Structure 1
Amino acid sequence: MPRPTNKKYCFLLICLVHFFGTSQQNKLDSLKNEIQTHTLKDTIRAGLLIELASEMTYSEPNEGFAFIEEAIAISKKNRWIKGEALAQRQKGNLYYVAADNLNALEAYQKALVLSRKTPNKQLESSVLSNLGNIHADLKEYDRALENYRAYLETSQAMGNRSEEIKALSNIAIIYNDTENFDEGISYLNKALTLAKDEENDLFIAAITNNLALAYKNLGEYQKALFHYQEALAMARKIGNKYIEASALNSIGKINVLLKNYTVAETNASKALSLSKAIGAMEWEADSWEVLSKVYEQNGKMTEALNAYKEHIQLRDSVLNEEKKSELTRKEMQFQMERQQAVANEEIKRQELVKNIYLIGAILLVLLAIFGYYIYKRRRDGLEKKKIAEFNAKVSETELKALRSQMNPHFIFNSLNSISDFISKNDIQQADDYLIKFSRLTRAILENSEKKSITLNEDLELMELYMQLEAIRLENKLHHQITIDQDIEPNNTLVPPLILQPFIENSIWHGIAPKNGDGHIDIKIEKEGDMLKYVVDDNGVGQPKKNMREKKSNGSFGIKITKSRIDILSHIKNKKGTVNLMDKPEGVRVEITLPLELQF
Structure 2
Amino acid sequence: MKGLVTVGQLGHWLSGCSLGEYQRAIDYHQQALKIARDIGDREYEGRSLGNLGLAYGSLGEYQRAIDYHQQALKIARDIGDRAGEGASLGSLGLAYGSLGEYQRAIDYHQQALKIAQDIGDRAGEGASLNSLGEDYGFLGEYQRAIDYHQQALKIAQDISVRLGEGASLGNLGAAYGSLGEYQRAIEYNQQALEIAQDIGDRYGEERALGSLGENYGSLGEYQRAIDYHQQALKIAQDIGDRAGEGASLNSLGAAYGSLGEYQRAIESHQQALEIAQEIDARYGEAETWFHMGNNLSELNQKSDAIDAYRNARQLYEAMELDAYVQNCTEAIDSLS
Query: Is TM > 0.5 for Structure 1 vs Structure 2?
Result: yes
SS in 2 for 1:116: helix
- Structure 2 residue identity aligned to 1:129: N
CA offset at residue 47 of structure 1? 1.8
Distance 2:230 2:274 in 1: 18
> Does residue 30 in structure 1 map to residue 28 in structure 2?
yes
Contact 1:41–1:74 (CA under 8 A) maintained in structure 2? no
Number of aligned residue pairs: 317
Q: Distance in 2 between matches of 1:181 and 1:143?
A: 18
Percent identity, please: 23
**Corresponding residue for 1:56?**
56
| Alignment correspondent of 1:119 | 120
Please list every run of 5 or more consecutive structure 1 residues that lacks an aligned counterpart in the other structure: 1-17, 322-400, 412-433, 440-467, 469-599
TM-score (normalizing by structure 2): 0.86
- Return the TM-score normalized by structure 1: 0.50
Task: State the distance in 1 between where 2:155 and 2:52 align.
Answer: 26
Partner of 2:4: none
Letter in 2 for 1:31: H
Partner amino acid, structure 1, of 2:143? D
Q: Distance in 1 between matches of 2:164 and 2:29?
A: 23
Give the partner amino acid of 1:291.
M
CA–CA separation in structure 2 for the residues paired with 1:19 and 1:133: 24
Mapping 1:365-384, distance limit 5 Å? none
Q: Take 2:126 and 2:303, find their aligned partners in 1: how far apart are those partners?
A: 51
| Contact 1:19/1:50 (8 A) holds in 2 | no
| SS of corresponding position for 1:227 | helix
Asked if the contact 2:33–2:45 (Cα under 8 Å) also holds between the matched residues in 1, the reply is: yes
Q: 2:118 aligns to what SS in structure 1?
A: coil
Say whether the 8 Å CA contact 2:149–2:172 is kept in structure 1. Answer: yes
Please give the alpha-carbon distance, in whole angstroms, between the structure 2 residues aligned to 1:22 and 1:435: 41
Structure 2 CA distance for aligned equivalents of residues 69 and 54 of structure 1: 12
State how far apart, in whole Å, the 2-side matches of 1:260 and 1:317 are.
Answer: 31
| Aligned-partner residue type, residue 110 of structure 2 | Q
Bigger helix share: 2
Which has the higher Rg, Structure 1 or Structure 2?
A: 1
1:76–1:145 distance in 2 versus 1, CA, 3 Å: same
- Structure 1 residues 174 and 206, CA gap change in structure 2 (3 angstroms): same
Corresponding residue for residue 5 of structure 2? none
The answer as to whether partners of 1:165 and 1:195 remain within 8 angstroms in 2 is yes
Cα distance, 1:31–1:217 mapped onto 2, change above 3 Å: same
User: Aligned in 2, Cα 1:112/1:293: closer, same or farther, shift over 3 Å?
Assistant: closer
User: Once the 2 structures are TM-superposed, how far is the Cα of residue 125 of structure 1 from its aligned partner?
Assistant: 2.5
Residue of structure 1 equivalent to 2:86? 85
Residue correspondence of structure 1 range 23-172 to structure 2 within 5 A = 23-24=17-18, 25-26=20-21, 27-39=25-37, 40-59=40-59, 60-172=61-173
Residue identity in the other structure for 1:437: D
* d(CA) in 2 for partners of 1:268, 1:139: 23
Taking a change above 3 Å as real, the CA distance of residues 181 and 300 of structure 1, as seen in their structure-2 partners, is: closer
SS at 1:38's partner residue?
Answer: helix
Where does residue 180 of structure 2 map in the other structure? Answer: 179
Residue 438 of structure 1: aligned partner: 334
Residue identity matched to 2:116: S
Against the structure 1 CA distance between its residues 183 and 291, is the aligned structure 2 distance closer, same or farther, given a 3 Å change threshold?
A: closer
The code of the aligned residue for 2:220 comes to: G
| In 1, Cα distance between equivalents of 2:309 and 2:144 | 35
The 8 Å contact of residues 212 and 223 in structure 1, kept in 2 or not, is answered as yes
CA contact (8 A) 1:19 1:47 kept: no
2:192–2:208 CA contact under 8 A, matched in 1: yes
Task: Return the structure number with greater relative CO, CA threshold 8 A, min gap 6.
Answer: 2
What's the CA shift for 1:246?
A: 0.9
Query: What whole-Å deviation, never above 9, does each CA across 1:406-464 have from its counterpart, x for those lacking one?
Result: 8x9xx7xxxxxxxxxxxxxxxxxxxxxx989239xxxxxxxxxxxxxxxxxxxxxxxxx
Stretches of structure 2 that go unaligned for 5 or more consecutive residues are 1-10
| Residues 245/114 of structure 1: CA separation in 2 closer, same or farther (3 Å cut) | same
Greater strand percent: which structure?
A: 1
Distance verdict in 2 for CA 1:270–1:134, change over 3 Å: closer
1:34–1:303: structure 2 CA closer, same or farther, 3 Å change rule? same
* Separation in 2, partners of 1:283, 1:140: 19
- The offset of 1:313, in angstroms, is 2.3
* Corresponding residue of 1:234: 235
1:35 Cα deviation after fit = 1.6
Shift of the 34–154 alpha-carbon distance from structure 1 to 2, 3 Å rule, reads same
CA distance in structure 1 between the aligned counterparts of 2:127 and 2:157, rounded to whole angstroms = 13
Assess if the C-alpha contact under 8 Å between 2:310 and 2:332 holds in 1.
Answer: no
**1:189-268 matched pairs, under 5 angstroms:** 189-268=190-269
Q: Which amino acid in 1 is paired with 2:28? A: S
Measured at CA, do residues 255 and 152 of structure 1 come closer, stay the same or move farther in structure 2, by a change above 3 Å?
same
- RMSD over aligned Cα, in angstroms? 2.6
User: For residues 294 and 132 of structure 1, what CA distance do their matches in structure 2 show?
Assistant: 31
> How many angstroms does 1:276 deviate by?
0.7
Contact 1:58 1:97 in 2 (8 A): no
Question: Matched residues in 1 for 2:316 and 2:136: separation?
Answer: 20
Q: Provide Cα deviations, 1:198-239, integer angstroms capped at 9, x if missing partner.
A: 111111111111110111111110110111111111111111
CA contact (8 A) 1:169 1:191 kept: yes
Cα deviations by residue, 1:86-119 (Å, 9 ceiling, x for unpaired) = 1111111111111111221221122122222212
How far off is 1:307 after superposition? Answer: 2.5
* One-letter code aligned to 2:251: S
Distance 1:293 1:132 in 2: 29
Residue in 2 that maps onto 1:394: none
Q: Does the Cα contact within 8 Å between 1:225 and 1:251 map onto a contact in 2? A: yes
Q: What residue in structure 2 maps to residue 309 of structure 1?
A: 310
Q: Which moved further from structure 2: 298-307 or 177-186?
A: 298-307
